[in-house]
Amino acid sequence: MSLNQSDDEERGVEIVPNKLRQHSRLAQNEDESSMSTSSGITFRNRQEIDVIDYITAGCLILSAIFFFSGAGMSRIHTMSTYGTMYLLFSVCYIPHTAYHVALVKEHGKKRIFIKSLNFIAGTMYFLGACCALGNNLMGFSSLWIVAALLNFIEFTLELMEYIRMDDRPLLKLLEKSIGVLTSILIIAASSSKIDAYTGHIGNFTAKYELGTDLFLAAAVFHALYSVLAVLDMFTV
C-alpha cells in the first residue's frame, strides 16, 4: 500500500477502483442517452437509431406538408397545379410504407400482408396524383378512394390487434385511430369530387368545395398522424 493511499484512508476518503469508476460513468451515459418523458414515453437510444429511421421520418413529415399544400391550393388553383403537391405527397409517403413492410418481413406472412396494404395504398395515391396532373378528376378521385380504403383496412386491423392486448400501447392506439379518421375523410372528399363531376351542373361548385374542405380536414389529420407515427418510430 502506498503512502498516499494510507493518507486517504486516514482522512476517511473512499477509494473506488478505476474499473468501478468506469462502470459508473458508462451507466450514467446510458441513462443520459435513453430519455424518458413524464408521460412514461421512453425514447430509443441514439445508438439504436439508423439513418434510414431519420430519412423515413423526414419523408413522412414532408408528405404531411405537401398534402396540406395540395388541399389548400385546390380551391384557387388548377387541378394540374395542386396535383403536383399531391404527387410529392405520395412520393414522400411511399418510403414510410415500404419501411414498415421491411420491419415486419420476419414476423410472418400475415404481418407482411397487412403492412403491404399501406404500400399498395401509397402506389394508388401516386397513380391518382398522376391523373390529377392530367386534369382527370374521375381517375384521381377513384384511385384515392381505393388507396384510402386500403389504408382504412390496414389501420383498422392493427387497431383491433392493439385493443385486444392486455397492455394497450396508447401511442399506437392514437396513431391508428387518427389514421382511420384520415382514411374516412379522404374517401368522403374523393366521393364528393366524383359526385360534383357526375351530378347536375348547378350543384357542381357546392359539392366540389365540400370535397376541398374535406381534403383540408384529412390533411390536418394526416399531419397529426405523421407526428404520432414519428414519435412511435423513436420510442421503445
pLDDT tens digits, 19-49 = 434 444 434 444 444 444 444 567 666 666 7
Residue with the bigger pLDDT between 201 and 19: it is 201
Cell of 184: 374516412
Q: What gap in Å lies between CA 173 and CA 170, rounded to an integer?
A: 5
Q: What gap in Å lies between CA 120 and CA 98, rounded to an integer?
A: 9
Q: What is the pLDDT of residues 119-132, one digit of tens each?
A: 999 999 999 999 99
Number of Cα atoms under 13 Å in the Cβ half of residue 224:
18
Percentage of the chain with pLDDT > 90? Answer: 47
Cell of 165: 392486448
Average pLDDT over residues 66-93: 89
Coil, helix or strand for 235? strand
Beta-carbon count within 10 A of 58 CB: 14
Q: What gap in Å lies between CA 60 and CA 65, rounded to an integer?
A: 9
Check residue 48 and give its pLDDT.
Answer: 64
pTM of the prediction? Answer: 0.78
Check residue 15 and give its pLDDT.
Answer: 43
Alpha helices, DSSP H only, in the chain? 3-10, 18-33, 51-73, 79-103, 109-133, 137-164, 170-198, 204-233
Where is average pLDDT lowest: 82-86, 98-102, 104-108, 136-140? 104-108
Check residue 11 and give its pLDDT.
Answer: 44
Q: What gap in Å lies between CA 17 and CA 15, rounded to an integer?
A: 7
Average pLDDT over residues 161-182: 91
Average pLDDT over residues 143-154: 97
Model confidence band, residue 195 (pLDDT cutoffs 50, 70, 90): confident
